[in-house]
């Protein structure tokens, strides 16, 4: 099960509810990235989670197109980011926001 957290840059105000790095749920694996086109943090689909006890059908063509792309604009101009690193937009300090974490899958 994956988990999203709110992150906010204290300097430029960049804010997002994202995993904060590599994450995985029952069906997909994600990586938090900074989209240089959108200028936003987002969780990007990077692969499918494999569970050999419950085989899944192959990815659909739409799912294949989304791998490694921004979920908003479909750009692949992305920079990996993880919690604890400086803000990818301005180099400032990012800290946890006030919204409680959310489990996803």
pLDDT: which is higher, 29 or 44: 44
Structural domains counted in the chain: 1
pLDDT tier, 1 (very low <50, low <70, confident <90, very high otherwise): confident
Residue 99 neighbours by CB distance under 10 Å: 13
The stretch 11-26 carries a mean pLDDT of 94
Q: What is the model's pLDDT at position 4?
A: 94
Using one digit for the tens of pLDDT, what is the confidence trace for 30-58? Answer: 999 999 999 999 999 998 776 667 677 77
Using one digit for the tens of pLDDT, what is the confidence trace for 62-92? Answer: 888 999 999 999 999 999 999 999 999 999 9
User: What SS3 state is found at 80?
Assistant: strand
Closest CA to 104 of 16, 4, 18, 37: 4
* Rounded alpha-carbon distances, angstroms, from residue 61 to 7, 45, 58, 64, 65: 32, 14, 9, 5, 6
Full-model pTM? 0.87
Q: What is the model's pLDDT at position 5?
A: 95
Q: What is the model's pLDDT at position 9?
A: 97
β-partners of residue 16 are: 7
Q: Which domain holds residue 67?
A: 2-104
């Amino acid at each position: 099960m994956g988990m999203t957290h709110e992150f906010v840059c204290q300097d430029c105000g960049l804010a997002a509810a994202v995993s904060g790095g590599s994450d995985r749920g029952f069906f997909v694996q994600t990586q938090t990235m900074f989209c240089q086109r959108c200028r936003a943090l987002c969780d990007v689909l990077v692969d499918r989670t494999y569970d050999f006890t419950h085989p899944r059908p192959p990815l659909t063509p739409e799912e294949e197109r989304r791998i490694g792309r921004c979920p908003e604009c479909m750009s692949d101009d992305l920079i990996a980011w993880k919690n604890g690193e400086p803000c990818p937009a301005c180099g400032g300090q990012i800290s946890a926001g006030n919204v409680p974490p959310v489990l996803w899958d």
